[in-house]
Structure 1
């Protein structure tokens, strides 16, 4: 397998988000960066990646050899359901600009970030990397899901036409410090963490949307960051790779609620609002391909990762995105 040699200049789009900040921490505090490597963490304030000109200007300025492409417009289930056109158009523009400009500037490798919501809604479980295009995604967020799928199409076509090996990772439900904790507009875990924090602070019941029965595999952002660095340096396929805990570690939303409640030592009442939708009931993903490459990788235990995240949120409440 080819390995990246020599110093890299790595441009991280979406560098101020959940995964970008986790990668920055692993690079700076865990020795994830190598001597001579240069890391540029780009936020949406630095460039409007929907613009071809702005994207080209960033590549011209930094001349990256490698790109980790995390920039995306994503919201929680309820916002997605109302704005499928916006999520399709914005994300398709961003992804096309980044991938096309990277190829134009001779970037060696780009790793983009997909999502398990890109997989078909009606499918057999566990889902694996070969099933990405085998049926339509869930109707609630098909605009975002199809935009993510197109990254894989773009990567395959780039390899066919130019021989470049750009790839994508597919994480399951991510959580950790620096997430978007806006209750109306976030993913399951950050919304739950913020709600529990407020319920404890205000002495009110904790209201959870849905039945709590939906199943998810959760991955801690720092574990994901460590795996991202491995993919950057050593994974040499164009085919995407699922980065996730195993099927045996799938949890219900109710399990996640209990972990957050325990982390915050919340003693109040928990109410499940069953008038709210659960979204897809399950998205069970196989991490067999990851385990083939990295049988030794140890994920942070779920409750420990939740505790660290809740502690971070409480300590950084005033400045956290919410």
Structure 2
């Protein structure tokens, strides 16, 4: 009989696919993993969410399902992002409570932190001010996950917590050129530049700095949190501030991964966005002092190789 039944929502996405990969590699005897996506249930529906939990009877949940998008989609649909994610999160956490789930680990994002903040920020700064105007709908809905986690613990002693990753990338990402995030966009642009023998065009000056984290590394930490982390306080998962790199440096890694010999052009008519949003990983290092992140050159090479192999079916 399985010792744990672990339900993973949003399992077909970037992080969910990485969780599947790590779970299969570790192959814990006795644990049953159930990976679900929007094809299995509409989590905006309370009835469908409850039916999903009744069917699988999870003892543990990794909650990754969300309505997500890039800058321009957020700007256009802030209300939709708020309403959709509030419904999903409320339904999933309530189902966890009703079905006596032992632990739920949800996924936030560093973009939910206040726009006006001192760097590096940490978990205690989550609610210190309004988020950036561009994605306030998504940001407030995600912040409410932390509020609900604390409320369920206060009122019902539930162990619900959250992980807060910095800029995640890897296989199964959204490589859309208009609506994706920076690094998957660079991967797609690199593919087209090499295939069509065109210049590799990077939007902006390339000067903004980011802490990138490979999806497989994030998955390893999430699974550790599910097993070992019993606090309600969310945990930032990131490389250290010293490993923050520029978009230009990231673009150069993509170029090397493709062995692209053409010209790199920076389109400075496009906005750079926030120059930096440095996060502290001190809490994570308190618990996981020896955790080793995949070297970024290797992780980008693996991402590029996956994208080339799966170009026809990749989200783009």
Q: TM-score, normalised by structure 2?
A: 0.98
Deviations 1:161-192 (A, max 9, x none): 00111000000000111111111121111111
What is the CA-CA distance between 1:246 and the residue it aligns to?
0.6
Deviations 1:119-140 (A, max 9, x none): 0111101010000000111111
Alignment check: 8 A CA contact 1:193 1:310 kept: yes
Deviations 1:254-290 (A, max 9, x none): 1110100110111222222222222222110011111
**Structure 2 equivalent of residue 216 of structure 1:** 210
State yes or no: 1:7 paired with 2:3: yes
Alignment check: 8 A CA contact 1:121 1:280 kept: no
Distance 2:47 2:204 in 1: 43
State yes or no: 1:172 paired with 2:166: yes
Gaps of 5+ in 2: none
Distance 2:15 2:140 in 1: 21
**Structure 2 equivalent of residue 83 of structure 1:** 77
Q: 2:12 aligns with which of 9, 12, 16?
A: 16
Distance 1:68 1:79 in 2: 26
Distance 2:3 2:199 in 1: 53
**Structure 1 equivalent of residue 264 of structure 2:** 270
Distance 1:201 1:259 in 2: 17
Tell me the secondary structure at the aligned position of residue 164 of structure 1.
coil
Q: 1:201 aligns with which of 185, 188, 195?
A: 195
Moved more, 159-168 or 79-88: 79-88
What is the CA-CA distance between 1:64 and the residue it aligns to?
0.4
**Structure 2 equivalent of residue 64 of structure 1:** 58
Structure 1's consecutive aligned runs of 4 or more residues displaced over 3 angstroms after TM superposition are none
Alignment check: 8 A CA contact 1:13 1:71 kept: yes
Distance 1:84 1:281 in 2: 22
Deviations 1:36-70 (A, max 9, x none): 10001101111100111110110010010010000
Distance 1:278 1:169 in 2: 27
RMSD of aligned Cα (Å): 1.0
Distance 1:154 1:188 in 2: 30
Q: 1:295 aligns with which of 264, 289, 299?
A: 289
Tell me the secondary structure at the aligned position of residue 185 of structure 1.
coil
Alignment check: 8 A CA contact 1:175 1:189 kept: yes
Matches within 5 A, 1:108-257: 108-257=102-251
Distance 2:244 2:113 in 1: 17
Distance 1:277 1:9 in 2: 45
Tell me the secondary structure at the aligned position of residue 178 of structure 2.
helix
Tell me the secondary structure at the aligned position of residue 279 of structure 1.
coil
**Structure 1 equivalent of residue 36 of structure 2:** 42
State yes or no: 1:73 paired with 2:57: no
Distance 1:280 1:64 in 2: 40
**Structure 1 equivalent of residue 314 of structure 2:** 320
